[in-house]
Amino acid sequence: MAKSINKCHECNIYSIKDSCPNCNNKISEEKPGKFSVEDKYGEYRRKAKKEILKEKNLY
């Protein structure tokens, strides 16, 4: 697993490299608090909740 994912805001491309593979701009790690990151964690949370509900239904 990659430690961090960098994003080029010009191309909307994610890369684990320091520069964008498309425009070669220097790109930086996505900071928490941005919409995309929140969405990602929200998805995780929803999935986790679903898993918990599923397990509860088994009992």
Residue 23 within binding range of Zn ion, rule CB under 5 A? yes
Residue 18 within binding range of Zn ion, rule CB under 5 A? no
Closest distance to Zn ion from the beta carbon of 21 (Å): 8
Both tokens of residue 10?
């010009």
Stretch that binds Zn ion, among 7-15, 34-42, 47-55 (CB under 5 A): 7-15
Chain residues binding Zn ion by CB under 5 A are 8, 10-11, 20, 22-23, 25
